[in-house]
Structure 1
Amino acid sequence: MQTTLAQYNETQSTDSFTLQNSKLLKVSLTGNTIQAKIGSMVAYQGDASFEHAGSGGMSRMLKKAVTGEGQDLMKISGTGEVFLADQAQDVHLVYIEGEKITVNGPNLLAFDADIDWDIERVQGASSMMGGGLYNTSLKGTGWVAILSDGPPVLLNVASAATYADAQAAITWSEGVTTALRTDFKMKNLIGKSSGESVQMAFQGTGWVLVQPSEGRVSAGPTNGSGGGLGNLLGG
């Protein structure tokens, strides 16, 4: 019997985080512990242990409760490989080295357990919107896996004034500062209920990754401040 299934053979790599394909992340657990979005495991081989990661302290627990930002995470350890995905969204890898990146919470799939995370408010948000907008910051050394609803665009913030919808801007690097901008002309043109009348403004040196969607990845009351320069690998 002839078959073309061989094209889907498991990807071989020495890296702890590898893209099996654009929708599926493969993580080698041997010698590694990771944190991942609860419910994202689709398969594993070997001996893997899954446990609730908790909030990592009272301060972060309170921030999650008040802001609605941050994912429910599970800690995965053991041997073998685990495969992670979320609703067939695109997966992208960022490797940070003592740096910080900022991620829209629902767009965070997994990261090395040694990377520290916190919840931060976008600069200028509280004065324009009740409660403000919040995102998840990650700092340290290791891999971070990011989700996007469709193929994103990577924008160089230093090259020109950069603006994006708050739910479409899914992650940005260290050296990038954020603010909220109200475009009254656009508001008059589109209507008061349009989200495009309020945009996130990005300045500084670094990049911002923007997905081609405001839907499916439900951001709730999210989006926060700047993050670290990484080696961005697309899916």
Structure 2
Amino acid sequence: MSQLNTVWNPMTLPSDDNVADNNYSFCIDLTQPWFMSKGAMIAYYGQMQFTSLQQGLQGQLLQMVAQQFSAPLYLGDYVVAEGQGKLIIGDRGYDINAYDLEDGNLTIRASNLLAFQPDLSLNQSIVPGFLTLIGTGKFLASSNGPVMFVEPPVRVDPEALVGWSDCPSPSHHYDQAWVNSFIAAAGQRFGISSGEERQFDFTGAGTVLVQSSEKVRDDSSVLRTIQGQLPGLSVPGLQQINQQITQQLTQHQG
């Protein structure tokens, strides 16, 4: 029987590693609490419970979340997995990889962050749709295809970007032809269709994580970041955003 057809059990499943010959599932040997994305659990052996960060937190669990989870806009996206046993997680057929941080920091697209140990603290990045992990510990991330590690200086398609470690936040770089057409259109062309027109520009030292496709899992993280900023906007600011949204919808429907 091949590995692909193996019938697994608690004794044969790996410990804190991908299931053999399967990049799409990962087995956590659960001995301590983990923060985990809602919906990531696909099976488990042992005794476990999964507690939403928005309800049911008490005692040490509440203290742990208060200390380590400093991303209030994302509280509804995660649970705490507690107990003992083998926890198998997946993400709709996306590749899953484990990464180890050692007294470092890594900023990752929120939709790619699947799970992390509570030794790491989570913060909202100043870049919309991204989160920053700080400290020492293990985390799991999904990606649409294998992940490549590249050194700055480099420009990356925004949709291919998974995250970056130990280097400054990127700046936007726009293709000269796109800028010229934008100016020629008197600011009426807001649509950007691909990474050939707009890129993230990384400089300095560090590592950039790039997935081998240009498909973002979803844009709900960016949407939530925008929604979180709306209460602080003035009426003219809200009206301007409304105009841009109307224009974007018209372009997509056309």
Which of residues 130, 133, 145 is equivalent to 1:135? Answer: 130
Q: Which residue number in structure 1 is paired with residue 208 of structure 2? A: 208
Instruction: Give the conservation status (yes or no) of the 8 Å contact 1:176–1:207.
Output: no
Which of residues 87, 103, 108 is equivalent to 1:98? Answer: 103
Higher RCO, Cα 8 Å, sep 6+: 1
Amino acid at match of 1:217: R
* 1:39 match: secondary structure: coil
Distance 1:71 1:185 in 2: 41
**Identity in percent:** 25
Distance 1:28 1:45 in 2: 10
Q: Which runs of 5+ in 2 are unaligned?
A: 56-64, 182-188, 226-254
Distance 1:153 1:84 in 2: 22
Structure 1 window deviating more from structure 2 (211-220 vs 162-171): it is: 211-220
Instruction: Give the conservation status (yes or no) of the 8 Å contact 2:159–2:216.
Output: no
Q: 1:25 to 1:187 in 2, by over 3 A?
A: farther
Instruction: Give the conservation status (yes or no) of the 8 Å contact 1:149–1:213.
Output: yes
- Pairing 1:45–2:41 present: no
- Pairing 1:148–2:154 present: no
Shift of 1:6: 7.4
Amino acid at match of 1:140: G
* 1:106 match: secondary structure: helix
Shift of 1:25: 1.1
Amino acid at match of 2:172: L
- Pairing 1:19–2:18 present: yes
Instruction: Give the conservation status (yes or no) of the 8 Å contact 1:70–1:136.
Output: no
Instruction: Give the conservation status (yes or no) of the 8 Å contact 1:71–1:108.
Output: no
Distance 1:91 1:217 in 2: 13
Alignment of 1:42-121 (within 5 A): 42-54=42-54, 56=65, 60-61=71-72, 64=73, 72-121=77-126
Instruction: Give the conservation status (yes or no) of the 8 Å contact 1:156–1:206.
Output: yes
Q: 1:26 to 1:74 in 2, by over 3 A?
A: same
TM-score relative to the length of structure 2: 0.69
Shift of 1:19: 1.6
- Pairing 1:174–2:166 present: yes
* 2:169 match: secondary structure: strand
* 2:170 match: secondary structure: strand
Structure 1 window deviating more from structure 2 (172-181 vs 145-154): it is: 172-181
Distance 2:214 2:41 in 1: 24
The count of aligned residue pairs is 197
Instruction: Give the conservation status (yes or no) of the 8 Å contact 1:177–1:204.
Output: no
Distance 1:87 1:59 in 2: 27
Structure 1 window deviating more from structure 2 (34-43 vs 146-155): it is: 146-155
Amino acid at match of 1:177: S
Amino acid at match of 1:72: D
Deviations 1:54-105 (A, max 9, x none): 49559732xx2xxxx6770010011111001111100111101121100100
Q: 1:135 to 1:5 in 2, by over 3 A?
A: closer
Q: Which runs of 5+ in 1 are unaligned?
A: 123-132, 225-235
Instruction: Give the conservation status (yes or no) of the 8 Å contact 1:104–1:219.
Output: no
* 1:185 match: secondary structure: helix
Q: Which residue number in structure 2 is paired with residue 29 of structure 1? A: 30
* 2:140 match: secondary structure: strand
Q: Which residue number in structure 2 is paired with residue 194 of structure 1? A: 193
Distance 1:29 1:35 in 2: 11
Instruction: Give the conservation status (yes or no) of the 8 Å contact 2:52–2:76.
Output: no
Q: 1:187 to 1:151 in 2, by over 3 A?
A: farther
Shift of 1:156: 1.7
Instruction: Give the conservation status (yes or no) of the 8 Å contact 1:187–1:194.
Output: no
